[in-house]
Structure 1
């Protein structure tokens, strides 16, 4: 068992953030040829060089990585000067870019996928049935709870309680919006169709799992991995499901489940507060990015 203090420092930082920061530092040093510790003028030159190549959101991540590198090693932060801030503002003004978003998964596409997976559940090959049961539970839990990919990958069986005639209670130990890692309990409803609770039970029955990571890799022979699926692999997994179901996967990612539910809830007259509370959003601006607003033109529409 690792008893060093570093394990707590590592636990305080999200793995995905660590990877992005490491890539940003490597980009500054190896790709651009920058020297660390850096001066504010070198940071300005770096931003200027990539101002028309990288998005401003990517540049902000790189600045955050540089800031933390300097702070952790006791150097003054070169990213906080007015010249750096103004350069970034200028880049945003001269090179505006639309925010790229995953396509929202519509209910009809979800139904097509579940129909195909239900068919595969009757396959005599164990590996096919196992993968279908996992994918069905992943899609339906991800959609109806609007989970992020990292939240899906972190689900553990011992953190899930089945409440008869009610649904599931899941404990999420951490998430993107839970910076203090306090965790939260969320409920998953039992539904008349496309039921995430029934899919969860079917997955446990088919897999025989009783503890540990809920969603795991499965090889071609039906052998399950011991560890959780990597969050970065979920988009590829969903693309495979879409292709088998006759759904064009272009534009979709694991985030399509979250956007799909938000769009469905909005179309079904959920209030902004109800939707924000259910999904876990903190502000209306965040929620608005996930919802495809409809502007009805009535008889004027073609």
Structure 2
């Protein structure tokens, strides 16, 4: 049983690898003093704070990790990471390319460039070399995205049978997990949104429930947005029914809607008496655990599978892309289409007719 009061371990930084390319002009390797190296490490620790106002929490964590790794790599060559030029960044990314995916490499590049700008020490990429390097890297690594499978209606039906509060050893946890999964699917919510919901963010109407999303990946200025989920009482997948059952067990204590539950099955309160939110990693673990419980391979699924499932199910039912985008709060149509896990491939597909008997 997972103790959700324990924070998840962060991603470990990979060991720096010595690049095989010819070293650039070593003028940047200045023979740093101990005082300079201490200041560099201090700057590395402040990297998250420098981007806090403009980036989401997940992006800040990723950028902070990337900057720490860039710093460690540079110090391995006695380089100042706030002064190393584009050729050194190219070598750093080349070293990463031996073990990391293209998406990870692109994120590390963006992080280093962004933090260097905020430090007032931008890396200049206007000499033509770096764009050509990136083009060659993309052609070599390939740009095919790695996508997790979508959680679909049939998966959720099996999950609801597996998460039976009448037979589960921890019925409150079971009720919470049912409500979280069905809400995540019906609302197309990101894991950060599910973990961030407060009790005050939910209200009920004659048609269903309304959830207020205070801020998200596509709402960095936190204007907020309401998402409605209709009640379908006769369906075992009704999120409104599941949330109502969970709230009856949760009670009206202020705090997180989907709160932490300890090993003993008790809801976890903080020093202020408010129920504590679950970690976003708990959402991911929940999806994998439930999927594994239904007999499918957990490695093919993630927390994002709920969001992909909503879009795929909407596409299956003939919901317009525009309506699905508005409900799921997508801003870019190309991105939204990528969430339809192959469902649209079969609408109007004629290939079966090519081999059919006359």
Quick one: structure 1 residues 52 and 9, their matched pair in 2 at CA, closer, same or farther if it must change by over 3 Å? closer
Counterpart in 2 of 1:246?
295
The reply to whether residue 123 of structure 1 matches residue 167 of structure 2 is yes
Between Structure 1 and Structure 2, how many residues are aligned? 292
Q: Secondary structure at the match of 2:268?
A: strand
Contact 2:93–2:109 (CA<8 Å) still a contact in 1? no
User: How far apart are 1:290 and its partner, in Å?
Assistant: 0.6
Counterpart in 2 of 1:3?
none
Cα deviation code 1:7-40 (max 9, x no counterpart) = 9974653221111111111222224635311212
Counterpart in 1 of 2:247?
204
Counterpart in 1 of 2:193?
151
Contact 2:55–2:220 (CA<8 Å) still a contact in 1? no
Cα deviation code 1:235-284 (max 9, x no counterpart) = 11222222333343230111111111111110100111111111111122
Corresponding residue to 2:256 among 207, 213, 223: 213
Contact 1:48–1:87 (CA<8 Å) still a contact in 2? no
Quick one: structure 1 residues 187 and 210, their matched pair in 2 at CA, closer, same or farther if it must change by over 3 Å? farther
TM-score by length of 2: 0.75
Further displaced range: 31-40 or 104-113 = 31-40
TM-score by length of 1: 0.88
The reply to whether residue 104 of structure 1 matches residue 150 of structure 2 is yes
Structure 1 regions of 5+ residues with no counterpart? 1-5
Cα deviation code 1:57-113 (max 9, x no counterpart) = 222211221122222222133456532222111100122142111101121111000
Q: Give the alignment's Cα RMSD to 1 decimal.
A: 2.3
Corresponding residue to 1:169 among 207, 210, 227: 210
Cα deviation code 1:129-179 (max 9, x no counterpart) = 10110000011000011111111111111011111x311111111111112
1:78-89 map, 5 Å: 78=124, 82-89=128-135
Q: Secondary structure at the match of 1:186?
A: strand
Corresponding residue to 1:274 among 323, 346, 349: 323
Quick one: structure 1 residues 109 and 63, their matched pair in 2 at CA, closer, same or farther if it must change by over 3 Å? same
1:231 and 1:151 map into 2 onto residues whose CA distance is 9
Quick one: structure 1 residues 10 and 51, their matched pair in 2 at CA, closer, same or farther if it must change by over 3 Å? closer
Q: Secondary structure at the match of 1:44?
A: helix
Quick one: structure 1 residues 290 and 81, their matched pair in 2 at CA, closer, same or farther if it must change by over 3 Å? farther
Counterpart in 1 of 2:332?
283
Q: Secondary structure at the match of 1:53?
A: coil
Higher-Rg member (1/2): 2
Q: Secondary structure at the match of 1:294?
A: helix
